[in-house]
């Protein structure tokens, strides 16, 4: 099917809980994985009190958004039920809403029932690694809930994605994927869409670097771009180090992402990301 889609000028705000978040300066999304098996911090914050302490640390360091994940998407991670994912997620959400009612919360899930339960308890953003590919009800649910949606590029599932890395042109193919899904999201009334090209998901290391190098090309959609490369294997495998030692590499690539148009950085290390944003802004001011 051939069609032409007209995109609006670049979006400069997102609507979260009837508040507008400005994207003039990039925002920082702090990661909290409340799973026992995530690639970097698995098990560290699986207890609600420890997760709350980490959330408070990230907020103190300047996190604009907290992204809570209760299902590990690393390759070959264990599958869990929707009920278990919800049961892991909601106690922390409820505590955050009580202790820090102004904080903006995102839920990292590809399941519409989990997304709906989270939003009903005060979550503001749905971050879906599957771009609606693993739950046919996700787009309808997000449209009905009227919350911002992070549309990520992935092929297959977390278990199968590493075998699905054949592209004619990785950036062009991701753009084609975005065109299709943006149209579907708009048909369900989703207003705030954020794009994540998905480094580390169904891409080789070389494809990940090409995606970052050509990140600005995704600006054609006029939608906010999210950069999510924090401590990923493309960094630590390239440098032959561990994820624990990948902060410096993360900062280097986050700098490239900002220069190429990233409006949100999804990171484990908020303080360093905020410093990166400030330094890049100062550089840009000097170049005017």
- Residue-wise pLDDT tens digits, 106-152: 999 999 999 999 999 999 999 999 999 999 999 999 999 999 999 99
Tokens representing 7 are 């995109």
Q: Please list the residues that pair with 258 across neighbouring strands.
A: none
- State the Cα angle at 108 between 140 and 61, rounded to 5°: 135
* Predicted confidence (pLDDT) per residue in 185-214, tens digit: 999 999 999 999 999 999 999 999 999 999
277-283's contacts with Cβ under 8 Å and 24+ in sequence apart are 277/25, 277/26, 277/28, 279/255, 280/255, 281/25
Q: Is the pTM of this model over 0.75?
A: yes
Q: Which domains does the chain have, with CATH numbers?
A: 19-287 (3.20.20.20)
Given its phi and psi angles, is residue 13 left (phi above 0), alpha (psi -120 to 50 degrees) or beta? beta
Classify the C-alpha dihedral 86-88-93-99 as positive or negative: positive
Q: Are 226 and 196 in contact (CB under 8 A)?
A: yes
Q: Rg (Cα) of the chain, in Å, rounded?
A: 18
Supply the pLDDT for residue 6: 47
DSSP-derived pairing of the beta strands 104-108 and 125-128? parallel
Section 56-83 average pLDDT: 88
* Predicted confidence (pLDDT) per residue in 92-119, tens digit: 999 999 999 999 999 999 999 999 999 9
Compute the distance between CA of residue 166 and CA of residue 71 in angstroms, rounded to an integer: 26
Provide the annotated active-site residues. 232, 266
């Amino acid at each position: 099917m051939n069609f032409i889609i007209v995109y609006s000028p670049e979006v400069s705000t997102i609507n979260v809980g009837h508040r507008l978040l400005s994207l003039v300066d990039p925002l920082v999304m702090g990661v909290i994985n409340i799973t026992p098996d995530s690639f970097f911090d698995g098990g560290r914050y699986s207890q609600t009190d420890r997760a709350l302490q980490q959330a408070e640390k990230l907020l103190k360091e300047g996190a604009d958004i907290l992204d809570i994940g209760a299902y590990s998407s690393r390759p070959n991670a264990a599958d869990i039920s929707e009920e278990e994912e919800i049961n892991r997620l909601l106690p922390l959400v409820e505590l955050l809403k009580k202790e820090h009612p102004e904080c903006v919360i995102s839920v990292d899930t590809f399941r519409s029932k989990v997304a709906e339960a989270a939003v009903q308890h005060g979550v503001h953003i749905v971050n879906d690694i599957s771009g609606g590919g693993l739950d046919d009800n996700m787009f309808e649910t997000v449209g009905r809930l009227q919350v911002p949606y992070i549309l990520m590029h992935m092929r297959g599932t977390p278990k199968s994605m590493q075998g699905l890395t054949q592209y004619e042109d990785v950036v062009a193919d991701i753009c084609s994927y975005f065109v299709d899904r943006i149209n579907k999201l708009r048909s369900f009334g989703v207003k705030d869409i954020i794009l994540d090209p998905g480094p580390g998901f169904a891409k080789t290391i070389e494809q990940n670097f090409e995606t970052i190098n050509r990140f600005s090309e995704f600006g054609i959609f006029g939608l906010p771009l999210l950069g999510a490369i924090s401590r990923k294997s493309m960094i630590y495998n390239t440098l032959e180090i561990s994820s624990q030692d990948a902060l410096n590499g993360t900062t280097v690539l986050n700098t490239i992402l900002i220069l190429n148009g990233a409006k949100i950085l999804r990171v484990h290390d908020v303080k360093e990301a905020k410093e990166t944003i400030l330094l890049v802004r100062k550089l840009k001011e000097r170049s005017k």
